[in-house]
Chains A and B, each alone.
Chain A
Amino acid sequence: MSLTHKDLLAAARAAEFSSRIRKLSFLIIEDQEPARNTLRGCAITCGAFHVAFALSYTDAIFKIRKNPDYDIILCDYNLGNGRSGQQLLEEVRLGKLISERAVWIMVTSEQAYEQVVSAVELAPDDYVLKPFSANVLLSRIEKALTKHDFFTSYYKADPDSLPARMNALVELAKKPDSKRYGADIMRKRADELSRHGRPKAAIAVFDQIISDVYPFPWARAGKARALMKMELFKEAEAEIASVVVEKPDYFEAHDIQAQALTAMGDVARAQRILEHVTERTPRNYQRKRMLSQVALINGDVETANRVMTEVLEKDVVATISVEDVMSLARSKITCGDKAGALAAIAKIPPEKAISIGQSDALALTCIEVCADSETAVAKFKSLCCDLRSDNLEPSEMVDAVRAALYCHEDDLANQLALDLLSDTTRARSVFRLLARVYTDAGKKDALRLIQERVAQILISKQRLLKTAA
């Protein structure tokens, strides 16, 4: 059946949709008052009745935390002070601060934003380029709501159950209007598989998107992340490197590349990449946390210290986490600032100190040992017997080695180092740090002997495998 332009424009103002819009709650995030008033006017013309405002990035986080049930969020891309609406979206979605069903529309005057939205893994539901009419905004909101309606059964399925979510997607793919959402269905399948620890299956779906639909940068980034989970770091780096070249403003791609390089042991290059990107995104404190950790592993303690101190001082949005404090304390200990390490540890909020996990508690004890805390030394010595059975992260094992050497428990330190270095994948990312720990303790020779022992173990294992084959 044919339509005319008058039918279209009339449909855009249809009462039926307007009555739905009237019931929805809007949040407008815009730091400039004139633009805020314009958006408000536009939203009201679209039929909005319940409209709230956030005047800045921080205010938006506060408002969303207070009321996570906003239905429609109209967010300006440029939020001032080096913060962007894209960064806010990622923080809100990754932190699960709002419902999956909330519609997020980015408002921008920058055509460059199209490059961002086409690349990123976490994209808004849509965007509008200024200037725009109320009809265009309404059209975009309607389209986003229609899509969310289509995926209702998926959103209702238990997010912690992979079978429930995948079954919902399978059923949706059978619906007649699924052709309009084919790429979204595939993307959600890949994301669910990745989230539920099925990286190989996720890669298969990402590959299908790349070959059958389009080699979207977000699909290649998703594949790279899944390859990382499979510890195929070289392949991950190769995949993401091509994305970085094609989309140099896709900053998260640089993060993935840095992670892959760190895992491969090329920490110096990882640090350079993160330094370059943090210069361009100075208010992205998550990225700065990553830079601090990588710098520490790379032996650049000054940078690690400086960056982490800045994060703790300036990131007023995030609450101080135990990981942040440990990161700063580690860098302080590594450069011999024992008082600084203890001062950093003292900043852990009391409510977090009470609920700290076992491995974090052990890692903190190890750091305190090296800061001359007598209580910590006694505690560490009592834990020595159980230490090897603990499931520690590589950086925590390095903490334990450092603490053991400090307490003159050389046998324990060497055994932990041997365990760590025998797992070559885990060892690669922290070897430099481990080497520094032994050097600072004046025991480089001991580490060399451990490396020789590890080489012998690996050769024996390979021989056994060959014989078995």
Chain B
Amino acid sequence: MTEKILLSGVHDAKNILFGALEKMSTGANGGCPLEIQLAIEQASERLNKMLATYRMANGKLQPAICSVDARMLVEEAVMRCFEGYDGPVAAVINELADEEWPLDRELVQDAIINALNNAKRFAATKVVIESQATAHGLVITIADDGPGYPMAAAPETLTDETGHSGMGLILARHIAALHQRHGGKGELQTFTGGPLGGAVFQLTLP
């Protein structure tokens, strides 16, 4: 399974970079710099995720826990996911927790971006993001108005906008579980339904 994920990650990154190269060679002005920059960032994100997957598979994925601004964590993830996006789906940010929270910013933000990319791909018109500090922990919820997770298979994979399977929910679940505090452990819940009727990705960090 790990090998499959790693291979698909290389394939994704390669496709993104080739796409950028095509735009550079065929575009009227040698391709739009922003598009190319975004392509490079996306390819880099794929490669980072592969690295995280590889480390996870070898039991070497260790969280680097810092006090993180929970609002900024989500806002930045939305910004990174939707920068340069011109499609029909709008990301709507509801209430966000205005707290500091001990977590691994890079790992958690990657998991959120992954979920947002998935929601952006499958949503009809809207993706709603919110976060709350509750008695169980920091709860980050991403809901869309798409078809939801398919019933036929366990929703173990997230797919990105290229349509290929990625590091997905396995990694996100592992990242959640790496966060342990006050005897509790982070967890990820995914289901279909929620306020918009589509997929719901809910990450809870203790």
Binding site for B on A (CB under 8 A): 2-6, 8-9, 12, 111, 114-115, 117-119, 123, 129-133, 135-136, 139, 143, 177, 179-184, 213-214, 216
CA distance A334 to B37 in the complex (A): 62
- Nearest chain A residue, comparing its CB with the CB of B72: A143
Binary per-residue interface labels of chain B (98-111) against chain A in the complex, 1 for a CB within 8 Å, 0 otherwise: 11101011100000
- Nearest chain B residue, comparing its CB with the CB of A216: B65
CB of A5 within 8 A of CB of B91, answer yes
Nearest 9 pairs between A and B by C-beta? A214-B102, A114-B64, A5-B91, A118-B64, A5-B82, A183-B67, A3-B93, A118-B66, A115-B64
Q: How far is the CB of B203 from chain A (nearest CB, A)?
A: 18
Enumerate 13 A-B pairs (CB-CB under 8 Å) in ascending A order: A2-B93, A4-B91, A5-B78, A5-B81, A12-B79, A115-B62, A131-B40, A133-B83, A135-B79, A135-B80, A139-B79, A183-B102, A213-B67
Contacting residues of chain B (35-77) with chain A, CB-CB under 8 angstroms: 37-38, 40-41, 44, 48, 51, 62, 64-67, 69, 71-72, 75-76
Contacting residues of chain B (1-55) with chain A, CB-CB under 8 angstroms: 37-38, 40-41, 44, 48, 51
Q: Which residues on B sit within 8 Å (CB–CB) of A135?
A: 79-80, 83
- Nearest chain A residue, comparing its CB with the CB of B133: A179
Q: Which residues on A sit within 8 Å (CB–CB) of B75?
A: 8, 139
CB of B100 within 8 A of CB of A179, answer yes
Q: Which residues on B sit within 8 Å (CB–CB) of A136?
A: 76, 79-80
CA distance A216 to B72 in the complex (A): 21
Q: Which residues on B sit within 8 Å (CB–CB) of A216?
A: 65-67, 102
CB of B79 within 8 A of CB of A143, answer no
Q: Which residues on A sit within 8 Å (CB–CB) of B66?
A: 117-118, 123, 216
Number of B residues with CB within 8 Å of any CB on chain A: 37
Q: How far is the CB of B144 from chain A (nearest CB, A)?
A: 13
CB of B100 within 8 A of CB of A182, answer yes
Point out the residue from A5, A6, A129, A180 that lies within 8 Å of B69, measured CB to CB.
Answer: A180
CB of A131 within 8 A of CB of B69, answer no
Apart from A2-B92, A119-B64, A180-B71, what 9 extra A-B contacts exist at CB < 8 Å? A4-B90, A9-B79, A118-B65, A123-B66, A129-B106, A135-B83, A179-B99, A180-B99, A184-B67
CB of A132 within 8 A of CB of B67, answer no
CA distance A133 to B93 in the complex (A): 21
- Nearest chain A residue, comparing its CB with the CB of B75: A8
Q: Which residues on B sit within 8 Å (CB–CB) of A183?
A: 67, 100, 102
CB of B85 within 8 A of CB of A5, answer yes
B162 contacts the other chain (CB 8 A): no
B181 contacts the other chain (CB 8 A): yes
- Nearest chain A residue, comparing its CB with the CB of B106: A114
Given contacts A4-B92, A115-B62, A117-B66, contact A180 B48 (CB under 8 A): no
Q: How far is the CB of A431 from chain B (nearest CB, A)?
A: 40
Given contacts A2-B94, A133-B41, contact A9 B62 (CB under 8 A): no
- Nearest chain B residue, comparing its CB with the CB of A176: B98
Q: How far is the CB of B158 from chain A (nearest CB, A)?
A: 19
Q: How far is the CB of B133 from chain A (nearest CB, A)?
A: 9
Point out the residue from B40, B41, B79 that lies within 8 Å of A5, measured CB to CB.
Answer: B79
CA distance A129 to B81 in the complex (A): 16
Q: Which residues on B sit within 8 Å (CB–CB) of A214?
A: 65, 67, 102, 181
CA distance A117 to B92 in the complex (A): 32
CB of A4 within 8 A of CB of B93, answer yes
CA distance A139 to B102 in the complex (A): 20
- Nearest chain A residue, comparing its CB with the CB of B179: A214
CB of A131 within 8 A of CB of B44, answer yes
Q: How far is the CB of B76 from chain A (nearest CB, A)?
A: 6
CA distance A139 to B74 in the complex (A): 12
Point out the residue from A8, A118, A143, A180 that lies within 8 Å of B78, measured CB to CB.
Answer: A8
Contacting residues of chain B (122-147) with chain A, CB-CB under 8 angstroms: none
- Nearest chain B residue, comparing its CB with the CB of A177: B98
Q: Which residues on B sit within 8 Å (CB–CB) of A129?
A: 48, 106
CB of B98 within 8 A of CB of A180, answer yes
Q: Which residues on A sit within 8 Å (CB–CB) of B104?
A: 114, 118
Q: Which of A115, A118, A177 has the most CB of B within 10 A?
A: A118
CA distance A179 to B138 in the complex (A): 14
- Nearest chain B residue, comparing its CB with the CB of A178: B100
